[in-house]
């Protein structure tokens, strides 16, 4: 999760987020190279006497500044298209979870089970205990098995919401009357925090998301306990 004075991204907790971080570094390197070239050209023009100011035709130069940007755009576009394809790919999910956004809480339904549903509200500040995070803790966490493909079906009951989990590289809009889906795999166990990322009313800032990734056996015990209540 995020920590004080953090400048970069959160640590990746899924293969997709790792791909996004690599793509970010790849694109940033290209941007720095272009910026350095432009800065060098500007400095050179300002510090030297200009020559050939009346040149009307330079085929070689025109060809270079036409072809080079096209090559750079292709170098950025191809990795981006690959990641977009991977994010939309759904192959035999082990678990399907449907989440609905409400003003101002989330509800979860594990569709592979007969009656495994619950609501998830933010824990008020006065009810926090030592070790809890203000504005990020919930009363009921979404629990998933680690290293298993999970499919999320995301919608909303009232207004626009957005289900976002930065460490997994996920941000999917929750739209009333429409069912969006996304998939992910958690690389390791732990607690992952997210929030609604669409302004949805006065308490928009108070509907956090908490996901707990656990080993498969622990998840089975958790689901059995909830179903027996």
Do the Cβ atoms of 77 and 27 come closer than 8 Å? no
Assigned domain for 7 exists: no
* Sheet containing 170-174, strands listed edge to edge, beginning at the edge strand earlier in sequence: 142-145, 208-214, 190-196, 161-165, 170-174
Residues 68 and 111 in one domain: no
Is the bond into 97 cis (omega within 30 degrees of 0)?
Answer: no
Burial class of residue 133 in the structure, from the number of CB atoms within 10 Å of its CB (0-12 exposed, 13-18 middle, 19+ buried): middle
Q: Is residue 3 part of a domain?
A: no
The answer to whether residues 112 and 74 belong to one domain is no
How far is the C-alpha of 161 from the C-alpha of 195, rounded, in Å? Answer: 10
CA distances from residue 213 to 104, 216, 226 in whole angstroms, order as listed = 24, 9, 17
Do 115 and 184 fall into the same domain? yes
Range(s) of the domain holding residue 56 = 15-88
Domain check: are 117 and 43 in the same one? no
What pLDDT is attached to residue 144? Answer: 95
Q: Is residue 197 part of a domain?
A: yes
* CA–CA gap between residue 148 and residue 96 (Å, rounded): 11
Q: Are residues 100 and 75 in the same domain?
A: no
pLDDT of res. 173: 94
In a domain, 10, yes or no: no
9 in a structural domain: no
| CB distance 149 to 93 below 8 Å | yes
In this structure, the answer to whether residues 174 and 70 fall within a common structural domain is no
How far, in Å, CA of 31 to CA of 44, rounded? 20
Per-residue model confidence (pLDDT) at position 92: 85
Mark whether 50 and 20 lie in a shared domain: yes
Domain C-terminal end among 40, 66, 88: 88
Q: For the chain, give the percent of residues with pLDDT over 90.
A: 64
Boundary-marking domain end, from 31, 56, 88: 88
Rounded-to-integer distance, Cα 204 and Cα 90, Å: 30
User: Are 75 and 123 part of one and the same domain?
Assistant: no
pLDDT at 12: 87
CA atoms of 40 and 132, how far apart (whole Å): 50
Residues 77 and 102 in one domain: no
The pair of structure tokens assigned to 78 is 């191809």
Q: How many helices (H) and strands (E) are present in the chain, helices listed first?
A: 3, 10
Residues of the chain below pLDDT 70: 1, 50-56
**For residues 160 and 118, what is the distance between their CA atoms, to the nearest angstrom?**
20
**Same domain? 144 vs 39:** no
Domain count, the chain: 2
pLDDT at residue 91 in the model: 78
180 and 205 both lie in a single domain = yes
- pTM of the entire predicted model: 0.82
Q: Kindly state whether residues 209 and 135 are assigned to the same domain.
A: yes
Last residue of a domain, one of 88, 107, 126: 88
What CATH number has the domain bearing residue 185? 2.60.40.420
183 inside domain: yes
Instruction: Find all residues with CB under 8 Å of 80, minimum gap 6, and list them.
Output: 23
């Amino acid at each position: 999760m995020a920590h004080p004075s953090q400048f970069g991204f959160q640590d990746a907790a899924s293969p997709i987020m790792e791909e996004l971080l690599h793509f970010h570094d790849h694109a940033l390197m290209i941007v720095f190279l272009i910026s350095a070239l432009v800065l060098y050209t500007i400095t050179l023009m300002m510090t030297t006497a200009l020559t050939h100011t009346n040149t009307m035709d330079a085929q070689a130069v025109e060809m270079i500044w036409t072809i080079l940007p096209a090559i750079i755009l292709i170098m950025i576009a191809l990795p981006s298209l690959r990641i977009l394809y991977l994010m939309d790919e759904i192959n035999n999910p082990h678990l399907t979870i449907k989440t609905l956004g409400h003003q101002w809480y989330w509800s979860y339904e594990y569709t592979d089970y007969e009656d495994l549903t619950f609501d998830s509200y933010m824990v008020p500040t006065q009810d926090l205990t030592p070790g809890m995070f203000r504005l990020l803790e919930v009363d009921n966490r979404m629990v998933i098995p680690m290293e298993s493909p999970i499919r999320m079906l995301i919608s909303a009951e009232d207004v626009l919401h957005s289900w976002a989990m930065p460490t997994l590289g996920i941000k999917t809009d929750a739209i009333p009357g429409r069912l969006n889906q996304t998939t992910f795999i958690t690389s390791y166990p732990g607690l992952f925090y997210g929030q609604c990322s669409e302004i949805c009313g006065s308490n928009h800032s108070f509907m956090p998301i908490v996901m707990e990734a656990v080993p498969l056996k622990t998840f089975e015990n958790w689901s059995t306990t909830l179903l027996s209540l």
